[in-house]
A and B are shown apart, each in its own frame.
Chain A
């Protein structure tokens, strides 16, 4: 090859000016090395044509998150804020559901249930609880009211932001606009306050549940002890000694 690579490349890709192309055509007719190089590059280009990408199903389209006609970048920029708010509501709802504990201690043993199960209609025999049952009623209505208040507050924030968006520059000019950072800070504040309240109430309720379970256990032990006392003389003394031993052990356990 006696010509520089850039010239050959421009020739192969048809990017030489017409006059230069004619001159190079003349050169190629008498230069085997350059003609071989050009043929090689053209063959390689021919091979490249066989490499085709697969044909995937597309269907990717940009869609609006909400109704309204705000400029696209701003619309996209707002999405995380309301996503965060929605996530906050979900977290609160989940936390409230987990904290809403119901403890039953009856002849069937100790039963702990979580969630809003107490809203389900009670079975018909629920009123006839045996002695020693400790059933705790958590303040579900209060938590619901808190969540409803939080959701309402978030809706107010969203409505206020939407109103500012729709009024555009005029709104910006007429008063200070709540920044995204400010909105996030307020949402976090509300979430934090609510979490603290729920944790405190949950701790109080748990303490009450533990106390009632303990009282019920003591009553059961007393009942069992009285039953054993009535059986005195009817069972072998070694069996009675064993029963007393186990009863003592159980009553000492926390």
Chain B
């Protein structure tokens, strides 16, 4: 049976490097996805993800288990993302290739999904990425943590150090603005809603 995060953290604190690397392996994709969606740049998101693990490793001795390891890691990652946004002084942009690689897409399609469907999904994803990049950072972060990482409202509030009602307000406002932007981009008329 696979070890829990807490068990791996305890062994890592004891000096077991393999245990920490198991945590890296387990969380690298979610952490990268979080960084990518917040800052919108592939290479920078990878750098942020690596730095997040490195910082977590260095600070492991100070992790007392008050929160879940994943929440702690999310917090480190979000702080790094904020640093990146401040440093770069620019709005995150959703990177998307100009053209559509049909061969690459064919490898991604599932038996139940045609290439045309996949192209539509890609285009929709690109439109969503662009609309998300236009949201204020607080609203975007709330949506990302809720939609893509499945955190509860309370977990998000704890992570962002803000009241529960603030999280809900940010999320609701973000979704409302996003909906309008997607409608303006013609998404609802093309893909239906």
Give the B-binding residues of A (Cβ under 8 A). Answer: 5-6, 8-10, 13, 15, 40-41, 43-54, 56, 58, 60-64, 69-73, 76
Convert B30-55 into 0s and 1s, putting 1 for each residue whose CB lies closer than 8 angstroms to a CB of A.
00110011000010011001100110
B187 to chain A, nearest CB (A): 6
Give the size of the chain B interface in residues (CB under 8 angstroms).
Answer: 53
Nearest residue (CB) in B for A48 is B147
Contact yes or no, A50 B125, CB < 8 A: yes
Q: Is the CB of B121 within 8 A of A62?
A: no
Residues B15 and A44 in contact, CB atoms below 8 Å apart: no
B164's closest neighbor in chain A, by CB?
A6
Nearest-Cβ distance from residue B34 to partner chain A, whole angstroms: 9
CA distance A69 to B94 in the complex (A): 43
One of B94, B128, B172 near A50 (C-beta < 8 A): B128
B→A interface (CB under 8 Å) = 12-13, 15, 17, 20-21, 24, 28-29, 32-33, 36-37, 42, 45-46, 49-50, 53-54, 57-61, 94, 121-122, 124-125, 127-129, 132, 143, 146-148, 152-153, 165, 168-169, 171-172, 175, 178-179, 182, 187-188, 191, 193
CB pairs A–B below 8 angstroms (14 shown): A6-B169, A6-B172, A10-B153, A41-B179, A47-B124, A48-B147, A51-B94, A56-B46, A60-B50, A62-B17, A62-B54, A72-B60, A73-B58, A76-B57
B127 CB, min distance to chain A CBs, angstroms: 8
Whether B58 contacts A51 by the Cβ 8 Å rule is no
- Of the residues A6, A61, A64, contact of B165 by C-beta under 8 Å: A6
